[in-house]
Structure 1
Amino acid sequence: LLTGMGALAAPAAAQGPGAAPAAASPAGGASHGIRLFGTVEFRRPLSTLPGWLDVLERNAASPIFRPDKQFNRSTSWTQLRQRAEGKSPRELLRLVNSFWNSWPYREDQANWGKQDYWAAPAQFLKKSGDCEDYAIVKYFTLKELGIAPDSMRIVILRDTIRNLAHAVLVVYLDDEAYVLDNLSNVVQPHTRLRNYSPQYSVNEHGRWTHIRGRPAGAAGGRGKTP
């Protein structure tokens, strides 16, 4: 599915001594008391992901969530927003996930001539994209429909069954973490996807490194940082 996203990810060894478990961080989409895919997370500054900062800039420069914007032959932004009216947050997740999953999958190499490239929503509309591009456009769509950015994460992970890099959108809702995946129109809790091993996650306010195990200092813990 993906051959790599290393251009945007800081090396795990760069975690550094100043990192702290995200649960100790009061803002910016902390862990919500949930160990995502069974991991412990450590917060890092957004400056460690310059590629994501570039996505935010490109999205601000070319917004697609305008009343006159046509998404495809049958749906404009206005029409999609009307379809979302009155829906519960869970229903919004299902609507947005299935809507964008109808776009065809396109490799970064075919679209952009690069092994790894994160597309802003305006670019996704023109060329579609691969897994992280689906996650990005879903993130911004849900934000426009009222889901707080602090409740969402774009998660870069490893599919341990297929042994492939992958990306999904995770939304923290009602004390659960729900996964929006381009591989399925079913929105399900993270605990049902045991083959997903997250490497890092990001939203507009922070970036988190994920490791399996217990935080440093926990009884029996290894005290290891990524």
Structure 2
Amino acid sequence: MLYADAVIDIFSPDLFNKVEKEYNQEARERVEQWQQLVLSVQAEKEEEKLAQVNRFFNRVRFVDDIRVWEQEDYWATPIEFLGRNAGDCEDFAIAKYFTLRALGIAPEKLRLMYVRALKLKQSHMVLAYFKEPESMPLILDNINKQILPANYRRDLQPIYSFNADGLWAAKAQGRGRKIKNKGGHSAWESLMNKIEHGH
């Protein structure tokens, strides 16, 4: 399986040409800006990496999958997300996750977290960052663009979280307990397969 930190190796003239051909010149420029972000914040502290990555992807338009992909639920790769310059909450969280992994943040510090957005009365996905294993996670979100500790996000009710290592049931606002999951998360595995094959 391809690990998220390999995303840094995908930037090449071939990739940029492919993006321009498949989408347009503006899409190519967005992917080039993504590369510049990855290269420019390599030496920064983790909190600065979080801030820069959150800010960069939150500029993309929020649009439901049905309008972008003509599917009820589609998990886009970061390139697809930037190519269309549109996506839903999963796409924001996934792009941030892979970019932060490319920036050297350890996988155990990051979780994609399904939550209930209480004010919107709908399911939602955010990215949670744990500075230490038992610390209160920071939440990177496309609804509230400010990075805040989970206990300040009373508008979100955790359901479960996961990364490449497995699924966790949410427990209060923290990490929760790991769920044994034989088949893996099918949408996650499909996403990883697309990335591995250059999409």
- Shared topology, TM-score over 0.5? yes
Specify which structure has the bigger relative contact order, considering alpha-carbon pairs within 8 angstroms and separated by 6 or more residues.
1
Q: How far apart are the structure 2 equivalents of 1:176 and 1:72?
A: 37
Q: What residue ranges of structure 2 are gaps of 5+ in the alignment?
A: 17-26, 177-199
Q: How far apart are the structure 1 equivalents of 2:136 and 2:169?
A: 20
Contact kept? 1:153, 1:203, Cα under 8 Å: yes
| Equivalent residue, structure 1, for 2:43 | 86
Cα shift at 1:112: 1.6
Q: Are 1:176 and 2:143 matched, yes or no?
A: no
- Are residues 77 and 159 of structure 1, via their aligned partners in 2, closer, same or farther at CA, if it must alter by over 3 Å? closer
Q: What residue ranges of structure 1 are gaps of 5+ in the alignment?
A: 1-55, 216-226
Spell out the pairing of 1:31-110 with structure 2 (5 A cutoff).
65-68=10-13, 73=29, 75-110=32-67
Q: Which has the higher helix share?
A: 2
Cα shift at 1:67: 4.8
Could you tell me the TM-score, scaled by structure 1's length? Answer: 0.61
Q: How far apart are the structure 2 equivalents of 1:80 and 1:63?
A: 11
Contact kept? 2:116, 2:157, Cα under 8 Å: yes
Q: How far apart are the structure 2 equivalents of 1:85 and 1:209?
A: 32
Could you tell me the TM-score, scaled by structure 2's length? Answer: 0.69
Matched pairs, number: 158
**Aligned counterpart in structure 2 of residue 202 of structure 1, from 158, 162, 165:** 162
Aligned AA for 1:179?
I
**Aligned counterpart in structure 2 of residue 185 of structure 1, from 145, 149, 158:** 145
Structure 1 residues 21-49: Cα deviation after superposition (integer angstroms, max 9, x where no partner)? xxxxxxxxxxxxxxxxxxxxxxxxxxxxx
RMSD value over aligned CA atoms?
A: 2.9
Contact kept? 1:198, 1:210, Cα under 8 Å: yes
Structure 1 residues 75-105: Cα deviation after superposition (integer angstroms, max 9, x where no partner)? 4344112321331100100000000011111
Q: How far apart are the structure 1 equivalents of 2:101 and 2:80?
A: 18
- Are residues 72 and 172 of structure 1, via their aligned partners in 2, closer, same or farther at CA, if it must alter by over 3 Å? farther
